[in-house]
Amino acid sequence: MGSAILKVKNLVTSFNTESGRIRAIDDISFELKEKQILGIVGESGCGKSVTALSIMRLLPKPSGVIESGQIMFNHTDIVDLPAEKMHEIRGNRISMIFQEPMTALNPVHRIGKQLGEIFHLHFPDMPKEKIRDESIELLQKVGIPDPESRMNEYPHQISGGMRQRVLIAIALAAKPDILIADEPTTALDVTIQSQILDLMMQLQKETGMAIIFITHALGVIAEICDDVVVMYAGKVAETSPVEHLFEDPKHPYTKGLLTSIPRLESPRKKKLSIIKGMVPSLHELPNGCRFQNRCPEAMEICKTEPPPLKRIADNHFVSCYLY
Ligand code: SF4
């Protein structure tokens, strides 16, 4: 695996709400290497999607703001990049696919038109015939049978799994260096989920792009990712190569998540352990460690000082006073 293509450094993203400013992500740092699939995992509200929207500079306006930190894409900090420069990067060098394919596609336009528009946007000189050929080829590549006739269909005429494949095709049209996939399989049934995961791994190998894969499911991370960032309440709890995380998890939150994964060999009646308690509201974050109210190993110091992210092995960092 190559050098870092994207470095997020001490990023703080906030939202102005009626009851004041809240920090949705608070001083997070991680790296995405070339040709890597990096997973970002955590419960809903932990800041995964806000991280993705910060990288894309697509935070809802005017409430969402990047307060501080850097997002280095190659050697450019994209946090302060003028809008038109960011427009060139977004969709072109960094693309994103979202959870719900129906809302991300335009219901009134045929699939071929939507895909063709993306080609036209990124390659304005490409002739119409070529756009059509490239669109058909791309639909074929993402596993859509009979792509020529699918080009004439509307999003509601195809299944959820096929719609997600169309969105992947749209995201790939500009041959991005980085693809950010925000829970792309959550709305799909299990068989289709695993087909889409296989497809993403295959496309990563074929194209050499790097992927950030956002999910609440550690099982999905185990299947496709090289490295993983575990987020909790807007902070990085632990980050490590995937195999370390599964063999030797360190953060009590990661351990809790791992015991919540259903395993085939578990006796059927054995209950999965679920982490007790709730993620704290971003309006009422405790002093000290944000996991303290759910942590079976909490100590006095955990209540007063937030634990720093500490390197405990090569590429393995954890934010916890136990280490
Ligand atoms: Fe638990 Fe303390 Fe570690 Fe937080 S810092 S995870 S409360 S032991």
The whole-number pLDDT of residue 272 equals 52
**Which ligand 1 atom sits nearest the alpha carbon of residue 297?**
8
pLDDT band at 194 (very low <50, low <70, confident <90, very high): confident
Alpha-carbon Rg for the chain, nearest whole angstrom, is: 21
Does residue 29 surpass a pLDDT of 80? yes
Q: For ligand 1, atom 3, name the residue with the nearest CA.
A: 320
Task: Determine the Cα angle at 236 with ends 66 and 258, to 5°.
Answer: 140
Q: How many angstroms separate the CA atoms of 145 and 121, rounded?
A: 26
Cα(231) to ligand 1 centroid in Å equals 14
Task: Determine the Cα angle at 140 with ends 128 and 97, to 5°.
Answer: 85
**Which ligand 1 atom sits nearest the alpha carbon of residue 252?**
6
Average pLDDT for the chain: 90
User: Measuring CA to CA, how many Å separate 159 from each of 100, 149, 200, 265?
Assistant: 12, 15, 18, 32
pLDDT band at 264 (very low <50, low <70, confident <90, very high): low
Q: For ligand 1, atom 1, name the residue with the nearest CA.
A: 298
Task: Determine the Cα angle at 93 with ends 309 and 194, to 5°.
Answer: 70
pTM of the shown model: 0.90
Q: For ligand 1, atom 5, name the residue with the nearest CA.
A: 320
The whole-number pLDDT of residue 190 equals 81
Q: Which residue did the predictor score with more confidence, 194 or 246?
A: 246
Ligand 1 pocket (Cβ < 6 Å) reads 251-252, 289, 291-292, 295, 297-299, 302, 307, 320-322
Q: What is the token pair recorded at 62?
A: 């005017």
Q: For ligand 1, atom 8, name the residue with the nearest CA.
A: 298
User: Measuring CA to CA, how many Å separate 96 from each of 13, 38, 177, 187, 302?
Assistant: 19, 14, 11, 16, 37
The whole-number pLDDT of residue 245 equals 93
**Which ligand 1 atom sits nearest the alpha carbon of residue 301?**
2
